[in-house]
Structure 1
Amino acid sequence: MEHELEQLGTQVEEITTGIEEVIPVLPTWVMPVAVLVVAFLAGLIVFRLAFGILNRMVAQKDLFWRSLVARTRRPLRLGLLVAALTVGVAVAPLSPEGTQLGRHALLIAFMVLVGWTVHTALQIWTTVHLRKFTLDSEDNYLARKHVTQSRILVRMAGWMIVIIATAAILMTFDGVRQWGVSLLAAGGAAGIVVGLAFQPVLKNMIAGIQLAITQPIRIDDAVIVEGEWGWIEEITGTYVVIKIWDWRRLVVPLSYFIEQPFQNWTRDTSSLIGNVLLYLDHTTDIARLREAARKAVESSELWDGEVFVVQVNDFREREMEVRILASARSAPRTYDLRCEIREKLVTWIQKEMPQALPRTRETVSVDGTGRPLPPEIQEINGRV
């Protein structure tokens, strides 16, 4: 046993002597790079251990918690690498210029990390906040309000974070900082050109903030824009996507909803009143028609039980206009309810009251006397 230990000590001494002989021959940059590589690898190892622990903690939880951990993966990795490299730069035998360059790079990485962390925190907060609401419910007014506000404000905050972080990074360079100061002092033509160039972007950004606060539109609102009927599908930082009833997409800039008039069918509530117009003969029995319409509406699963009205809306020369009103909990259900009422009543009129269909009446005068007339035509006061 003692003999084996003596052999092991001799081998270690030989290896140490060899390293001491090789190191002076290597370039001076090898040791600093080696220290930084070791610090980098140490940061990766710590990240893998920490992220593995987090994954095990949420492995048995629902998809929400697993997605939150997944979102923090990249910011966590960058943060641990910055911390490890900060220690590496401090202990590595770097020259004064190298130390300054490394600290400058780490400062920029830290600013990026702060902006990234704030943006990720906003997204996580939005996810947690919107978890209490769902757009799938029939009366989703409150959910649409919070979803719209959160998405617009998060996008605006994201742009602000990018702008502030970029400005902070540029200010760490002396040349860029002096250029920015001189540009602000000069103003004049340069400021005008920049203002004109960014006018559409700033206009839509301001419109986005106004939309988030005043909310003339929300996600899943039923609207009529440019003569097209559809739903608000997406609101970005610069434009709004409207899903038209035939699945086309209408893309409109944000500023449109501040400057132009449009129809919002679900501004205050998801429920809507649908109308069905029937053009019938003057001899139509309105009481029987109202009873048939009531049965058609009450038998429908789409009706919410709130509004039902049958009215003679207009009385014209050849027909009268009958309007039927019925309500439903959402715009799509209202549209389907209107179609269902129309189909049921047309079928009922054809079978039970065919005389209610519009007819054209004419008075025919027959010249001469003694001319035989068909049996179905009668003469009254000289007219037939």
Structure 2
Amino acid sequence: MQNYLETIVAALAAAAIALLVVEVVHRVTRRLGRRSLLMTELTDHAHRPFQVSATVLAVQLGVRFSTGYAVGSPWRQIVLHVLALGIIATVSWLVASLLVVIEDTALARFRVDVPNNRHARRVRTQVVLLRRLTIAVIVVLAVGVMLMTFPAVRGIGAGVLTSAGVVGVVAALAAQSLLGNVFAGLQLAFSDAVRLDDVVVVEGEWGRIEELTLSYVVVQIWDDRRLILPTSYFTSTPFENWTRTEAAVLGTAELDVDWSIPVQAMREELRRLAESSELWDGRVCVLQVTDATGGMIKVRALVSAADAGSLWDLRCLVREHLVAWVRDQRPTALPRMRAEVGDASGALPWQAVQPRRPVRRLPDTDVPDDARVFGGSDDGEARSEVFVGREDHAETRR
């Protein structure tokens, strides 16, 4: 009984000393690191795993160096083995916590709540995926080391640590889709094809990347639904990324109207609407006739906004306003089938009438800015250079 008490007292004393030392280190670190974000994160998130690992290590040393039992005692060996497993597990926990703290500190330098956050979102995506990968590696290594402490299964532990090629072949045969998604997740992280908070169109749904893991991607649809796709989808299937280069995007609103529509007046109305709306970012406001078949013409209004959400609202606003303008101000331009019977010179609003004054036509060289997508403004000139080339565009202008 005395031997039991001596071992228990030694273990409790070692645990008490370890807790005291950890508490002193914690308080000193917190006091010295008030102005350091890294030290603050360490004291807040790494304190508990450090406390547990130090306590288990101290108890293991107390039991090992206690004189209550002979070295070859079975009970002593079992206790020391259990404590050794605890040390491996707690140290792995501590290492993972330290890595998470370092990654969080690095992420704090890149803000994603600012308008131009493309670089920050790319770094955040890569760091989050690397965090998941490093934690998985630490868990695998910890399990391998713990298995190696058992003589009967030491070969299994060595296999986990040293036979990566065999394990990879077996895993590839048993879980090809899972490994494919993992490698696809790493490819997405470092190829910059998609990032967290990117606005995308996948499977006909418009939304943003809410979560990106090694095996799946969560897309938050505009109506708050969640579309969950394997990461391999984004490496094997075409999709639209609206914010890969910048958040500002262009959008269209198309209307089918009659041939009698005064296009220039409609263009001026679009300009007035855009300038009076806070959704427009001031870059692009163009109205063009893109088709003239089937007895009607297709008018396309192209506008720009600072982000995808504002663009959606702006497109709806433009569509509603132009529909109301055509209905109220130009009723003769409403879509219709030309099968009139009777006097064509009548005064009814839906009948064709002669214009009261001649319509002023713009010369071919006097094309307004809001009638050209590739030219007429600084933004249009830049867009033309992208599709044509700087030298070819300059020769075309000459």
TM range (shorter): 0.7 to 0.9
Structure 2 counterparts to residues 4-153 of structure 1, below 5 A = 26-55=1-30, 67-93=41-67, 94-97=69-72, 100-153=77-130
What is the aligned partner in structure 1 of residue 302 from structure 2? Answer: 325
Tell me, yes or no, if the aligned pair for 1:152 and 1:235 is still in contact at 8 Å. yes
Equivalent residue of 1:315, what SS?
strand
Q: Hey, what's the Cα distance between the residues in 1 that align with 2:256 and 2:137?
A: 58
What is the aligned partner in structure 2 of residue 292 from structure 1? Answer: 269
Instruction: Indicate the RMSD between aligned Cα atoms, in angstroms.
Output: 3.2
Aligned AA for 2:302?
Answer: L
Offset at residue 329 of structure 1 (A): 1.8
Q: Hey, what's the Cα distance between the residues in 1 that align with 2:54 and 2:87?
A: 11
Structure 2 counterparts to residues 208-287 of structure 1, below 5 A = 208-287=185-264
Q: Hey, what's the Cα distance between the residues in 1 that align with 2:291 and 2:41?
A: 59
User: Once structures 1 and 2 are overlaid, which stretch shifts more, 79-88 or 216-225?
Assistant: 79-88
Offset at residue 191 of structure 1 (A): 8.6
Equivalent residue of 2:209, what SS?
strand
Note closer, same or farther for the CA distance 1:57–1:344 as it changes in structure 2 (3 Å cut). farther
Offset at residue 346 of structure 1 (A): 2.4
Q: Which runs of 5+ in 1 are unaligned?
A: 1-25, 366-372, 378-384
User: Once structures 1 and 2 are overlaid, which stretch shifts more, 113-122 or 282-291?
Assistant: 113-122
Q: Hey, what's the Cα distance between the residues in 1 that align with 2:118 and 2:200?
A: 14
Tell me, yes or no, if the aligned pair for 1:234 and 1:241 is still in contact at 8 Å. yes
**TM-score if structure 2 supplies the norm length?**
0.76
Note closer, same or farther for the CA distance 1:62–1:249 as it changes in structure 2 (3 Å cut). farther
Offset at residue 343 of structure 1 (A): 2.3
Tell me, yes or no, if the aligned pair for 1:139 and 1:330 is still in contact at 8 Å. no
Q: 2:328 aligns with which of 338, 351, 357?
A: 351
Q: Hey, what's the Cα distance between the residues in 1 that align with 2:319 and 2:116?
A: 25
Offset at residue 296 of structure 1 (A): 1.0
Offset at residue 97 of structure 1 (A): 3.4
Offset at residue 352 of structure 1 (A): 2.6
Offset at residue 237 of structure 1 (A): 2.6
Equivalent residue of 2:72, what SS?
helix
Q: Hey, what's the Cα distance between the residues in 2 that align with 1:183 and 1:51?
A: 36
Structure 2 counterparts to residues 370-381 of structure 1, below 5 A = 376=346
Note closer, same or farther for the CA distance 1:157–1:142 as it changes in structure 2 (3 Å cut). same
Note closer, same or farther for the CA distance 1:329–1:97 as it changes in structure 2 (3 Å cut). farther
Kindly indicate whether residue 315 of structure 2 is the aligned counterpart of residue 315 of structure 1.
no
Q: 1:339 aligns with which of 313, 316, 328?
A: 316
What is the aligned partner in structure 2 of residue 381 from structure 1? Answer: none
Note closer, same or farther for the CA distance 1:375–1:211 as it changes in structure 2 (3 Å cut). closer
What is the aligned partner in structure 2 of residue 21 from structure 1? Answer: none
Note closer, same or farther for the CA distance 1:65–1:358 as it changes in structure 2 (3 Å cut). farther
User: Once structures 1 and 2 are overlaid, which stretch shifts more, 86-95 or 207-216?
Assistant: 86-95
Tell me, yes or no, if the aligned pair for 1:139 and 1:271 is still in contact at 8 Å. no
Q: Hey, what's the Cα distance between the residues in 2 that align with 1:321 and 1:354?
A: 16
Tell me, yes or no, if the aligned pair for 1:75 and 1:117 is still in contact at 8 Å. yes
Offset at residue 135 of structure 1 (A): 2.4
Greater Rg over alpha carbons, structure:
1
Q: Hey, what's the Cα distance between the residues in 1 that align with 2:294 and 2:324?
A: 25
Q: Hey, what's the Cα distance between the residues in 1 that align with 2:344 and 2:193?
A: 67
Offset at residue 130 of structure 1 (A): 1.7
Aligned AA for 1:282?
Answer: W
Task: Give aligned-pair identity as a percent.
Answer: 37
Tell me, yes or no, if the aligned pair for 2:210 and 2:219 is still in contact at 8 Å. yes
